[in-house]
Amino acid sequence: MWKTIKDDMRWVVPFALLVWAGALFGCGGGSSSASGPTAPRIEPEPVSEAWRADRGDALNWFLGHREVGASAPIRLDWEGTSAAGVAWHDKGFGFEKHRWDGQFIYLVEDHSGAPNPPYSFSAGVWMPRHFTGYARGRATGNVLTWYGPDCAVTGTQPFQYEWEVSGPAPHDFGSCGVKKAACGILDTLTMRYIWGAGKVEIFYYTWDGGWVDWTYEEGGQDQYRWNHVFDAPDGVRAVHEGSCT
């Protein structure tokens, strides 16, 4: 089904992005309630102020520090310590799963591309935990694994990509609005995920809000964009059934 990276990913991933963006905008920026059961939740555990206060650690920008209600269908759930942990950006219709260790944050799994199948990365470095101003890398040995129902493996293929991360530096998110996660000029960590010729996804992370903005570019032109808060308190844990890794 998935013949080559050139033939497959050119259509599968962008279409998943289109569905993702459409789902968010179509439901008023994610404010509508998601259908289906709510994942079990427990109260947040205390976190170490020492590592959560470190502005030189990219993980703290990735997770953010927003302590608000956990009832929104779109939310961030995470558990762990500075040494290791796991995070889910839950969009109500699917989720992206990341892990971290003392050196890197990794993209592990993506279930948000419906109707396209979920997939995982074998070597999904997302960004380093510590760097000065700018860093970049290439995932040359990464293997993409596709999953069907009950996490049955339906195929694998090599999937190389590049990443660039810069900041924190001031970024202008534009005028404020009721549904916007970030507005005005804020210190921001910017990550560029480059997975094909001219295909770039840009992720914006602020100290307070974590992942607040996303842009997909193709040929140097914006194709899709959304700006939304992942609404959850620090340290909330959730059980995400359906995770294959």
The domain tally of the chain equals: 1
- The answer to whether residue 39 sits within a structural domain is yes
Between the alpha carbon of residue 93 and those of residues 47, 115, 136, 163, the distances in Å are 29, 11, 31, 26
What is the share, in percent, of the chain residues with pLDDT greater than 90? 35
12-26, 117-131, 172-186: which range is least confident on average?
A: 12-26
Report which DSSP code applies to 102: S
- The answer to whether residue 169 sits within a structural domain is yes
- The answer to whether residue 127 sits within a structural domain is yes
Mind listing the pLDDT tens digit for each residue in 156-199? 999 999 999 999 999 998 877 655 667 788 999 999 999 888 88
- The answer to whether residue 243 sits within a structural domain is no
**What's the domain range around 22?**
5-238
What pLDDT shows up at residue 15? 35
- The answer to whether residue 32 sits within a structural domain is yes
Mind listing the pLDDT tens digit for each residue in 78-102? 888 999 999 988 776 778 899 999 9
- The answer to whether residue 245 sits within a structural domain is no
- Distance between start and end Cα atoms, the chain: 22
- The answer to whether residue 56 sits within a structural domain is yes
Q: What is the mean pLDDT of residues 127-133?
A: 96
Q: What is the mean pLDDT of residues 38-67?
A: 71
